[in-house]
A and B are shown apart, each in its own frame.
Chain A
């Protein structure tokens, strides 16, 4: 214990000594520390050579930081003297030391302001509150994730860079590197199917196939530096970050209280967590695949409301589909229906509003939205019928015109014959 305190004191002194080595804002250092790169770059051992080779692409190198900024030592000294602990050399920072090394700059608002004023400086504080941080700091568990587990050392890039390990598309794989590793998770008794199930979810599909970088990844629900599983009572707040209206309606509904009482996690009770699928209308009601049927039966009040809501939404879907089908048919026939199709968007909005209103579990609220959508769909349907009638009128008009033209042609031909016979 004493040794550990001494170590920590040394680290603090060493880091304090290193602070002046950080480059001044806006001034990039032209070259790497010559002595570190000179030796490490040519070492046959990849573990020692690779960092020197990778580091030039690291954002820290690009901002002018050198090896000593994190590892300490004296870059101006030749050979092993450069790595003399007396000259502040830290070796490879890990565990708690890593928090101090990274936090030395990243927890200092004054320092970070010079590089990226928008970057937060509470990562280390957050980390201390995370499950990872608590295990490290309270239980001395050095197997848990620390800074360098997620931010690859010597090749760090801003999260907006697609090659970054914390770019939205790469986050799941970064977390999965540990959390999908059964051997690694065994001591903690944690499941390891999160990555696999997440990659079946609509969120992953939106992210990886549709390229929607706002689709949630692990850290959007669990936090990043303060990572922890969302608690049963506040899972709704997590989903509500994006699905605001649904979360609000759910919070004011009877289900919110009941679920809390039963210890059932709000949104996740019906939608699942990692493998969240498209929320289609089939989730609603009492048919097979409908989640309401998990708790309700056809005879109870909840079951009746569920069936009622499903019926209303189905009626709107049917009417909306037939209006759209009618207008698309007219469009395929070459008719100009873009305005009617635009107006039908109103019914689409009502569809979304009705499906949102389901989260209030209030039949009247759902009916109100459905009726708006039905009215818009009906006028779309009427517009479609009118246009198709117009199409028929055109065809009839064409037939009549062509008949008249053909009669005229016949008349002219007869006239020519008559003239030429006479001539």
Chain B
């Protein structure tokens, strides 16, 4: 009765048919398909815990730290919600990186999935933006100085740097104005962008289905596959449950620390480090010489990262061989190089002395 009433109005049966029709290719790389769903699950965890945190969090330089202290000590299960939010953020970025790299190496960006790649890549940038803006919100010492260093890097960009720095900080220095700004970006601007992009990304995945690897596709015969519903979705569910157990364990055994309250007048502590996912870029900037061909080393570094990011964004249009269904080892090696570079620089970032 209710079903048919809803079906008449929402077309549920059509959606159901769509779900039943959808199939997922089965091959030795199928495991990578789960990463997108895993990232989506962690994003949903972020949305849920983030909304719960909003009930108590106060985004001012005077109250932010104390409100989180209150969440951690007084609010029922506040510690759990905040710790899961912080851990899930890190896990989400991690699975997002894996998802991105698997798509890159499997060349799943081949036509007709160029826009899926583009929307996914922008979502990755949005996720990094979530990480950067969220890191400041507890208003503790580490976050304060890491944000100061992070925003300083933006200021180095020629022509627009100075302006962007002021816009980002809401003034000359990181202050209460920066906090409210980051808060607005974290809870309103980025979620709005993310929801739009995510809708587009999921629609495109649904529209084009999962991409099979090149070698399987080039064989021409119909590849083995399994139904998305319920076979693949139940497998996804297993992954999500595992992630939930991992998150609960991390929150119970390693609740996120709060540190000491930010004091803008205190000297910066030694060895300020960004979040792990920014480490490879941060470390690269440290290794660059003061000047490269009359241009400041940092400027060259930032321009290189910007150009690198843009190249990655348009990679489906550059990799013509893959677009034609041919092997493109150059892009495979570029992907592997990128992974090695990021891993090595991140490792160095955590092991080298802070002054090097």
Contact = CB atoms under 8 A, between A and B. Distances in A.
B248 interface: yes
A419 B80 CA distance: 36
B238 A413 contact: yes
B100 to A, nearest CB: 27
A325 interface: no
Interface string B226-237: 010011001101
A420 B252 contact: no
Contact of B255 (A335, A338, A406): A335
Nearest to A390: B79
B242 A402 contact: no
B249 A402 contact: yes
A337 interface: yes
A395 B248 CA distance: 10
A33 to B, nearest CB: 45
B189 interface: no
A419 B69 contact: no
Contact of A405 (B69, B244, B255): B244
A408 B69 contact: no
A412 B231 CA distance: 10
B79 A405 contact: no
Given A336-B79, A339-B69, A408-B241, A395 B230 contact: no
Interface of A is mostly: helix
A79 interface: no
Interface in A388-405: 394-395, 397-398, 401-402, 405
A395 B73 contact: no
B261 to A, nearest CB: 10
Given A409-B242, A412-B237, A416-B234, A395 B252 contact: yes
B237 A334 contact: no
A271 interface: no
Contacts of B231: 416, 419-420, 423
Contacts of B252: 394-395, 397-398
A402 B248 contact: yes
Interface residues of B, number: 24
A423 B23 CA distance: 14
B258 interface: yes
Contacts of A408: 241
A412 B244 CA distance: 15
A336 B237 contact: no
A262 B125 CA distance: 82
Contacts of A243: none
B235 A416 contact: yes
Contacts of B258: 336, 338
A409 B234 contact: no
Interface string A159-172: 00000000000000
A392 B69 CA distance: 20
Nearest to A401: B248
Interface string A320-364: 000000000000001111110000000000000000000000000
Interface in B219-273: 227, 230-231, 234-235, 237-238, 241-242, 244-245, 248-249, 252-255, 257-258
B72 interface: yes
A409 B231 CA distance: 14
A69 to B, nearest CB: 43
A336 B249 contact: no
A408 to B, nearest CB: 6
Contacts of B257: 334
A376 to B, nearest CB: 18
Contacts of B230: 415, 419
Contact of B73 (A336, A394, A412, A420): A336
B245 A412 contact: no
Nearest to A387: B73
A336 B242 contact: no
Contacts of A405: 241-242, 244-245, 248
B65 to A, nearest CB: 10
A387 to B, nearest CB: 9
A416 B244 CA distance: 20
B82 to A, nearest CB: 10
Interface in A166-216: none
A175 B178 CA distance: 54
Contacts of A406: 245
Interface in B185-236: 227, 230-231, 234-235
Contacts of B72: 336
Contacts of A335: 79, 255
Contacts of B80: 394
In the A-B complex, the 9 residue pairs with the smallest Cβ-Cβ separation, listed nearest first, are A336-B72, A336-B73, A334-B255, A398-B252, A405-B245, A409-B241, A416-B234, A394-B252, A402-B245
Given A416-B235, A419-B234, 10 more contacts: A336-B73, A337-B73, A398-B249, A402-B249, A412-B241, A415-B234, A416-B234, A416-B238, A423-B227, A423-B231
15 contacts: A334-B255, A336-B72, A336-B255, A394-B80, A398-B248, A402-B245, A405-B242, A409-B241, A409-B242, A412-B237, A415-B230, A416-B231, A416-B235, A419-B234, A420-B231
